Amino acid sequence: FVLKKEVYCSRGEEQIELKQETDTCMVVPVDEQTERKPFSCVICKKRLSFKSVFDIHMRTHTGQKPFSCVNCGKSFSQNQHLTRHMMIHTGEKSFSCVTCGKGFCQKRLLTKHMRIHTGVKPFSCVTCGKSFGYKRTLTQHMRIHTGEKPFSCVTCGKSFGYKPTLTQHMRIHNGEKPFSCVNCGKSFRHKPHLSQHMMIHTGEKPFSCVNCGKSFRHKPHLSQHMMIHTGEKPFSCVNCRKSFCQKRLLTKHMMIHTGEKRFSCVTCGKSFGYKPTLTQHMMIHTGEKPFSCVTCLKSFSHKNSLTQHMTRHIVEKL
């Protein structure tokens, strides 16, 4: 009769099971396991060498947290966890970065921080090979390949790959706009939208044309402007092949072919393909004449009517 044998690696007083025997390991008969690990968990059958380790292990099943913080009352299952927690209240930061001097209350946080200086990225994507400094960043990246979207909206069911994206989406339903302008009080759902809005007050136009020097608040506006210089017209009509530099201009043009007239007069019901045309039409009903002659002060509803009128004064002077 041959006793079954398992391999354990000696590390101090602790015995760690290995899959194969090495030079640093010793073969231990199964019958001796009880002597080496006399404390057995009745719930998961795990065997442990020391009673102190056994007591800590049992708390994973019972949920017991006997170590409490005297400041905030938060409880912990292990004394060392409480010790680390206390540094939040004391402000103690025992671990300092030798490069920039920044302090941390835990060694693992310092280890993570050091990757900023060393550039070490130990977590690599098995699909595309891209590397990351933190495991959670790799986990998030993997969702690009797997298509996993674990965060779902309870209102409409739409799913997202990242929790912050879900948080932003929820503002559509709850109407929350946490980012407010200190100048005019206008609120926004997203911080980038507030940043763009602030340029109205500051007059900042950070995007400049390299050809003519004209500046813009938003990058898409600069991209559209650049087409004037390049002559690029990426939006083409499928009916007549006429091209445009902006999508909105193509949309307007398409109404010629479709006959769509979505702007209607509330007074007489007449419809128009373009909003400016409706605006001009409304002056018939309101009697508004915003274009005035500087010579005789006669007013007109349309600018082209004023232009035609001005030619009379020019002829008179001749």
pTM as predicted: 0.42
User: Where do the domains of the chain lie?
Assistant: 5-62, 67-118, 263-317
Angle CA 303–304–307, to nearest 5: 90
Amino acid at 21: E
- Residue 306's alpha-carbon distances to 8, 81, 318, in angstroms, are 99, 82, 19
Contact 180, 187 (CB under 8 A): yes
CATH architecture, range 67-118: 2-Layer Sandwich (3.30)
**Residue 21 structure tokens:** 């025997």
Cα–Cα dist 52/58, whole Å: 10
- Rounded to the nearest 10°, the torsion over CA 252, 225, 200, 188 is 60
Fold designation for 263-317: Double Stranded RNA Binding Domain (3.30.160)
93 CB-near residues (< 8 Å, 6+ apart)? 87, 103, 104, 105
182 CB-near residues (< 8 Å, 6+ apart)? none
67 Rama class: left (phi>0) / alpha (psi -120 to 50) / beta:
beta
- Position 19 scores a pLDDT of 37
The alpha carbons of the chain give a radius of gyration, in whole angstroms, of 37
Question: What is the DSSP annotation of 230-254?
Answer: H----EE-TTT--EESSHHHHHHHH
- Position 263 scores a pLDDT of 87
Cα–Cα dist 20/165, whole Å: 46
Number of alpha carbons in the 13 Å side-chain half-sphere of residue 249: 10
**Residue 116 structure tokens:** 């900023």
- Position 31 scores a pLDDT of 53
CB atoms within 10 A of CB 239: 11
Helix (H, G, I), strand (E, B) or coil at 9: strand
- pLDDT < 50 positions in the chain: 1-30
